[in-house]
Amino acid sequence: MDTYRRAAVPPQKLYIGGTWQEAQGGTLDVVSPIDGQKLTTIESASAADVDRAVAAARAAFEDGRWSRMAPAARKKVLHRIADIIEREALALTVLGVRDNGTEIGMALKAEAGSAAGTFRYYAEAIDKVYGEIAPTAPDVLGLVHREAVGVVGAIVPWNFPLMIGAWKLAPALAAGNSVVLKPAETASLSLLRLAEICAEAGLPDGVLNVVTGEGRVTGESLALSMDVDVLVFTGSGATGRRLLEYSARSNLKRVYLELGGKSPNVVFADAPDLDQAAKVSAMGIFRNSGQVCVAGSRLLVERSIHDDFVALMAKHAKALKVGDPLDLSSQIGAVNSDTQLQGNLGFVADAVKEGGEIALGGSRILESSGGYYMEPTIVTGVRPDHQLAQREVFGPVLAVTPFETEEEAVQIANGTDYGLAAGVWTGNLSRAHRMIRDIRAGVVHVNTYGGADNTVPLGGVKQSGNGHDKSLHALDKYTDLKTAWIQL
């Protein structure tokens, strides 16, 4: 691993039409959150650069080099992509960690491991998804065909670029589409390497194009393109709203959004093992420095066990080692950027002003390293209307709120604009099912938190977005239905 850690990273280019190209918009510095030092540069794609990438994707789609390839042949390419990711898992993961700061122990599984599994899942799905024959009159044959939508624009975040990138790319490619991918400017390196891997695996030129740069230029140009058929995005609600506006201003492209959450983790006094619940819940908020869209960032605790459970959470959180994400002993890595770190600290300061009390943490640490590190933070006394209970921090900051009854727990859990994920800890089977029914969220964990795989969808309700990543349901975003009505 030390070899990969010390390896120089050359200046990166745009990947358009199967070639590496310079951007008209200049370059951006890549600063590693591990030590605050410049790692390399990436290109900053202009609107004209994005237009070239979209044109390359459109040409590849229209001539059928991928879209009309037999599903069995596409399957082989996706499997080869997974093979290469697995072969280069350590190098690919270390590159990503140097770029975004996720702890290596988690990143090996969540980034390279997850991405390889995702490409394999959709490789196997390609020739197992069929059209339909409708039950029509005897003299009519009604066929429902599934067709690739065309050109997909994908904008992915910095917290798990390879994992989330695969969630978008694999089903889009499996369905026969061409893609223009825009990584986050603070986490582009692993996805640029993925473009090389896809080419090595036999993906035809132009089918995948990668344009790096700032969201306000590169992302906006992709969203405004008149020749992008579907746009998929994971990120903030503010950006998601702008993407919907850009769709309306351009070609009314379909836009699918995963916009994060403020996920409640509800602990009842009858939970089967409170210490285990505290241990799992601590990782459910503090892993990857809280930079997880489904993070259990609101802890709702039955009042009779509130103090004891907070003490257990603090014990497990305090035992977590925060440090260099490339140190195998580190359990929590770096915050992605100085901007993100300062935002996290601002939320903590505001929470105290509103009456919250810091039970653990609250500060920047390891500042002498030059990197961006924050200790796990627990804030108690957070009322449901406080900002820390309403706004997504996307950092290692937990808001704790007590409740008296099951009905109150549901009311507090549903009392935000978000609805991405939730957790419930109880030994009562009937209560568990009632909570699954009553909490408005796309994923409800019971007596665990996190870990759902590709067999089930991930998507939110309310202002957590629309559409789904993962599972066969993800293919719905990347296919159109066409009816053939045939008179016999």
Task: Give the pLDDT score at 1.
Answer: 74
Q: What are the φ and ψ backbone dihedral angles of 28, each rounded to 5 degrees?
A: -125, 145
State which residues of the chain have pLDDT below 70.
Answer: none
Identify the three-state secondary structure at position 468: coil
Q: Tell me how far apart the alpha carbons of residues 54 and 404 are, in angstroms, rounded to a whole number.
A: 55
**Tens digits of per-residue pLDDT, 164-222?**
999 999 999 999 999 999 999 999 999 999 999 999 999 999 999 999 999 999 999 99
The radius of gyration of the chain's CA atoms, rounded to the nearest angstrom, is: 23
Relative orientation angle of helices 71-87 and 161-174, to the nearest 10 degrees: 160
Relative orientation angle of helices 114-125 and 161-174, to the nearest 10 degrees: 10
Residues in the chain: 488
Report how far Cα 29 is from the mean position of its chain's Cα atoms.
Answer: 23
Q: Tell me how far apart the alpha carbons of residues 411 and 389 are, in angstroms, rounded to a whole number.
A: 13
Q: Tell me how far apart the alpha carbons of residues 223 and 116 are, in angstroms, rounded to a whole number.
A: 28
CATH topology for 264-453 is Aldehyde Dehydrogenase; Chain A, domain 2 (3.40.309)
Q: Tell me how far apart the alpha carbons of residues 228 and 320 are, in angstroms, rounded to a whole number.
A: 44
Give DSSP secondary structure letters for 259-312.
Answer: -----EEEE-TT-S-HHHHHHHHHHHHHGGGG--TT---EEEEEGGGHHHHHHH
Task: Give the pLDDT score at 66.
Answer: 98
Task: Give the pLDDT score at 303.
Answer: 98
Q: Tell me how far apart the alpha carbons of residues 346 and 190 are, in angstroms, rounded to a whole number.
A: 30
Which residues are within 8 A (CB) of 411 and not within 5 positions of it... i.e. 6 or more apart? none
- Do the strands 19-21 and 479-487 form a parallel or antiparallel pair, or are they unpaired? unpaired
Burial status of residue 419 (CB atoms within 10 A of its CB: 0-12, 13-18, 19 or more): buried
CB 104 within 8 A of CB 328: yes
Task: Give the pLDDT score at 253.
Answer: 98
**Tens digits of per-residue pLDDT, 152-161?**
999 999 999 9
Q: Tell me how far apart the alpha carbons of residues 12 and 17 are, in angstroms, rounded to a whole number.
A: 16
Task: Give the pLDDT score at 208.
Answer: 99
Amino acid 59 reads A
Identify the three-state secondary structure at position 202: coil
Q: Which residues are catalytic?
A: 258
- Best CA proximity match to 234, nearest among 32, 53, 47, 470: 470
Q: Which two tokens stand for residue 201?
A: 């695996």
Homologous superfamily (CATH) of 2-259+465-487 is Aldehyde Dehydrogenase; Chain A, domain 1 (3.40.605.10)
Task: Give the pLDDT score at 259.
Answer: 96
Q: Which two tokens stand for residue 41?
A: 């540069």
CB 334 within 8 A of CB 322: no
Neighbours of 260 (CB within 10 A): 27
The CA-atom distances, in angstroms, between 108 and each of 17, 165, 178, 206, 275 are 30, 15, 28, 29, 27
Biggest distance spanned by C-alpha atoms of the chain: 79
- Domain residues of the chain, as ranges? 2-259+465-487, 264-453
